[in-house]
Amino acid sequence: MKIAIIEDQAVEQERLKAYIEQYCRDTQMDVSIDIYNDGIHIVEQYKSQYDVLYFDVEMSIMDGMTAARKIREKDPHVLIVFVTNHSQVAIQGYSVEAIDFLLKPLSYFAFSEHFKKIVKKLPEAPQDFLFIKNGPTTIKVVQQSIRYIENEGHRIFIHTDTGTIETNNSMKNMEQALNKQFFRSNNCYIVNLEFVDRVEGSTAYVEGTPLQISRPRKKDFMQALTNYIGEGLI
């Protein structure tokens, strides 16, 4: 589990970090924690690499609510929690689909009860995610967000619902990492069958984007699509 704490007070940073580490140690969970001193710092570097974000609201350069809104535009899946002195923040937090609100000063008991809910919200199956290297950054990508994957030269382009991620990898490695809702249509494309609008001849349309199906793969592609759709195919 990857967590970021966005808080400008060192005492609060260390308190929350210690609570997370204690809970994960007691429950034998792996956790990685990064700390940012202001909202603008995480917004500038954000690559959908976290499972949970803990935001203080009042920070000097960019407040937590503004930062959370900007991140929510990029990442519809990350869990957002506000840690604040002001209970009225809860009303504003609905606009970014915050999962919880914690009031300072935070006790370990209150935190542990909260964190139980967080753990339940995290996907149980790790294969539902890909961890993609993008330069010095590792990005967590929800498989369901991927529309299709494209190979161009020695570069892989992962087209998602929020944009395109570029990485050095191979189509073979990508195929092995993906779940059963993906199928390779030719040497250049791996398609998420969930988002195939229609197939015309040797072209599959993925949310309107035409992707070629090679002749040797056409029969297997159509069989995979039929199996995935099941009774929904008429």
The answer on 39 and 151 residing in a single domain is no
Last residue within a domain, chosen from 90, 122, 154 = 122
Domain membership flag for residue 135: no
Q: Helix H segments across 178-229?
A: 215-229
Domain membership flag for residue 129: no
- Domain coverage including residue 181: 144-232
pLDDT at res. 231 = 42
The answer on 182 and 75 residing in a single domain is no
The domain total for the chain is 2
Domain membership flag for residue 132: no
In order along the chain (234 residues), what is the average pLDDT of each group of 10 residues? 95 96 91 95 91 92 93 92 78 77 92 92 68 86 94 93 92 90 95 94 96 95 84 46
The answer on 180 and 113 residing in a single domain is no
Give the count of beta carbons closer than 10 Å to the beta carbon of residue 144: 16
The answer on 97 and 154 residing in a single domain is no
Domain membership flag for residue 160: yes
Q: Note the Cα 161 to chain centre separation in Å.
A: 11
Q: Which residues of 174-200 are buried (b: 16+ CB within 10 A; e: fewer)?
A: beeebeeebbbbbebbbbbbebbeebe
pLDDT at res. 44 = 93
Domain membership flag for residue 112: yes
The answer on 117 and 16 residing in a single domain is yes
pLDDT at res. 90 = 56
The answer on 118 and 12 residing in a single domain is yes
The answer on 52 and 149 residing in a single domain is no
Q: Give the CATH number for residue 155.
A: 2.40.50.1020
**Phi, psi torsion values for 2, nearest 5 degrees:** -115, 125
Domain membership flag for residue 133: no
Angle at 192 between CA 188 and CA 197, to 5 degrees: 100
Domain membership flag for residue 131: no
Q: Give the CATH number for residue 52.
A: 3.40.50.2300
This prediction's pTM: 0.56
Last residue within a domain, chosen from 91, 122, 153 = 122
Last residue within a domain, chosen from 122, 156, 180 = 122
Domain membership flag for residue 127: no
pLDDT at res. 125 = 45
Tell the residue number behind the tokens 């995480």, with chain if given. Answer: 42
